[in-house]
Amino acid sequence: GHQHGYIEFFLRQGGCVSGISVACKMLTTLGLTIDDAVSDGSQANAGQRLIRAQGNAAALHQGWKAVQNVLEWSCGVSDYLAQMLALLRER
């Protein structure tokens, strides 16, 4: 409960990033502080940190999986869309 900690979310595969603003809102709603976050729509490399947050350990644990799901889904969809747009622009 009362211990302080931090959490970091990383991009597994490189590509277009999205869901960051939603993820940050979810974390701040739990009373956590966002130390660093990339911008929605930016391109990120595999292994790049997307978000770093700190605060109460119980709140970090509470938000972890939900934020992970938002980021995985959002980044996957936006990267797929970016790839489709790149193919269309080549034509």
6-31: per-residue pLDDT in tens? 999 999 999 999 999 999 999 999 99
pTM to 2 decimals? 0.89
The pLDDT assigned to 45 comes to: 96
The answer, yes or no, to whether residue 91 has pLDDT greater than 90, is no
Give pLDDT tens digits for 23-80: 999 999 999 999 999 999 999 999 999 999 999 999 999 999 999 999 999 999 998 9
- Pairwise CA distance, residues 24 & 53, whole Å: 8
Tell me the CATH number for domain 4-90: 3.90.1170.20
Residue 2 structure tokens: 């009362």
Write down the pLDDT at residue 1. 58
Which DSSP string do the residues of the chain spell out, in sequence order? ---EEEEEEE-SS-EE---HHHHHHHHHHTT-EEEEEPPTT-EE-TT-EEEEEEEEHHHHHHHHHHHHHHHHHHHHHHHHHHHHHHHHHH-
